[in-house]
Amino acid sequence: MNDDITVADLSLSMGGQKIIKSLSTSIKAKSITAIIGPNGSGKTTLLSALVGLRKINGQVMLGQDNIYEMPSKIRAQKIGYLPQKNEVNWNISVSNLIGLGAMPHRFNNQTSGNIIDKAMDVTNIAHLADRKVMDLSGGELSRALFARVLAGDPEWIMLDEPMAHLDLSHQLGMIDLLKSIKANGKSIVIIVHDLHQAARLADNIIVMKDGLIDSEGPTKKVLNLEMLKRVFGIKAQIINDKHGVKIDEIMRL
Amino acid sequence: MNKLNLALFIGLLFASCISLLAGKIWISPLDISSNAEVSIIYQLRLPRTVLGIIIGTALGMAGAAMQGFLRNPLADPGLFGISSSAALGAILSLFLGLNGVWILPIFALLGAALGMGLLTLLAGRSGSLIIFTLAGLILSSLTGSLTALLISLAPNPFASSEIITWLMGAITDRSWGDVYFTAPLVAGGMICLLLSAKMLDALTLGQDVARSMGVNMTIVQYLLILGIGLSVGASVAVTGIIGFVGLVVPHLMRPLTDERPSNLLIPSAIAGAILIVLADSIIRIMPMVSELRLGIAMSLLGAPFFLGLLYHMRRKLA
């Protein structure tokens, strides 16, 4: 069965300004797709449109189903979303926070307990279970919020810059974790600013520029000198070896 | 029932006993013999205590739900403008000089219903908190100014003094009739608020995440308007405006819970009842010529409470 996400003629305005202009693409299931592009190119808006949160023109299909016509509970079971901003309004405990993630499902206590434990294990925060969220560091909170998404056990995981608050070691840990989640059959869409991370992580890349897709395809193909110059205005050396693509000696043009 | 709710419940039982025994005439629990004492308790103090419990529960839970919905620890159900709409309805009946046992509360309920309808229309389907808050502000400033207008246009000094006295809420001289009138409405409202509990939890993570987790913001908004409209509207209809409870009680209870909005609703309801019942008992035994109005007593409590809060926050920030 085809579980890909297909976007057809998507356009979206906010405050009278067109943020996304007639965009069509398809995103492969069971792979990692990175969305990259300069600030203000429409990455976050595109991602939230994929989650079903915006008023759109056009169509976003998950397999055969229109995301905007699905019952919201079903959509929530299929798609997990982590926004860029770390927002937690009340000082709840980490385990309660992660427990919120299981909300779209009607798990019994045993099952939800197991899922919460597993989500804390893989994100390496089991030791923080009883801590209150306002006592966490930025990176710890990021990981707890990511664990919240995992606790919903969604098929699709949509992440908006999940590594922004993480130190280098946790960034690498996150990359490995995302890869292993993919290996378990999940589909991931992730907004990344750091092109190194995109290169390490993604199977496919969508490059956004001015509300349109500049280019898209397999990481090796998309990350090229012309694209870097055209979209980001930078000059760099691209190293393509058996470990994948690396970008080096970046200079501003 | 968890430990906190149990403790609060026992507290409420104590407060209720005090409320039954205390007053200008103290009644000893060991010696309730004369007919007069029995009828003081059954005809006067019991309905007053039960009404206090109903109102306190309604205001406490409404406040907790409101703070959860707006994600603001200082939000008050009064921000909705529903209590002032209900008050406007009640005052209209006084202004028109309409007499009859149930005229005033029914006018107040109609006011509350009209307020709920207007709020729903103004807020629309967006489910946006800012638009919602703005709609509530429009409603409360509109009804507030209309209330002032009615007072200034009152046909005679009696009417205006009656209006002003009524506005400062009280549960003095209330009967079983008032209890039967309020209880079902408040119960209905509280059911709506309890139905929203899980969605309020999800809102802890912000509106977008809550929506991505399957929460329909329009439904939450309707549940809140209906829940607060019924419980607060019915309370105002029989007691007038009693502020402060809905704001302060959830604030005091929050640190005693795990801070999940769903777990704050019941403790705030019980603690609201304790606060009203105790405050009303104290009012009764104060040596004053005419009884202090409950609404005034509550606002008087407000200032030192906020002073304490301010002091606490300043120390934390220093």
Taking residues B93-117, report their average pLDDT.
Answer: 88
Coil, helix or strand for A186? coil
Taking residues B283-291, report their average pLDDT.
Answer: 82
B77 touches chain A (CB under 8 A): no
Considering chain B, what is the average pLDDT of its residues?
89
B90 touches chain A (CB under 8 A): no
Nearest to B297 by CA among B277, B279, B274, B281: B279
**For residue B75, which amino acid is it?**
A
Question: Cβ contacts (< 8 Å) between B211 and chain A: which residues?
Answer: 53, 72
Q: What percent of chain B has pLDDT over 90?
A: 54
| Residue of chain A minimizing CA distance to B216 | A72
Considering chain A, what is the average pLDDT of its residues?
92
Helix residue ranges per DSSP H, B71-156: 82-95, 103-123, 129-152
Nearest to B210 by CA among B114, B139, B93, B127: B127
**Chains A, B: CB pairs < 8 Å:** 69
Cβ contact B213–A104 (<8 Å) = yes
Taking residues B176-197, report their average pLDDT.
Answer: 95
pLDDT digits (tens, 9 = 90+) for B126-180: 767 788 889 999 999 999 999 999 999 988 888 888 888 888 888 888 889 999 9
What tokens were used for B75? Answer: 């939000």
pLDDT for A121 equals 93
Cα–Cα distances (Å) from B108 to B21, B100, B148, B167, in that order, read 32, 14, 16, 12
B173 touches chain A (CB under 8 A): no
Nearest to A38 by CA among A193, A212, A159: A193
**For residue B26, which amino acid is it?**
W
Long-range contacts of range B170-173, CB-CB < 8 Å, 24 or more positions apart? B170/B239, B170/B240, B170/B291, B170/B293, B170/B294, B170/B295, B171/B48, B171/B51, B171/B52, B171/B55, B171/B238, B171/B239, B171/B276, B171/B280, B171/B294, B172/B48, B172/B291, B172/B294, B173/B44, B173/B48
Q: How far is A92 from chain B (nearest CA, A)?
A: 5
pLDDT digits (tens, 9 = 90+) for A190-216: 999 988 899 999 999 999 999 999 999
Cα–Cα distances (Å) from B123 to B65, B83, B109, B136, in that order, read 18, 17, 21, 8
Q: Which of residues 206-235 of B touch A (CB under 8 A)?
A: 206, 208-209, 211-216
Cβ contact A51–B212 (<8 Å) = yes
pLDDT for B1 equals 56
Nearest to A211 by CA among A24, A28, A43, A2: A43
Q: Domain coordinates of chain B in residue numbers? A: 3-317
pLDDT digits (tens, 9 = 90+) for B24-45: 778 777 777 777 788 888 888 9
Decide if domain B3-317 falls under CATH 2.40.50.140: no
Residue with tokens 């693409």: A25
Q: Which CATH number fits domain A5-252: 3.40.1160.10, 3.40.50.300, 1.10.40.30, 2.60.120.260?
A: 3.40.50.300
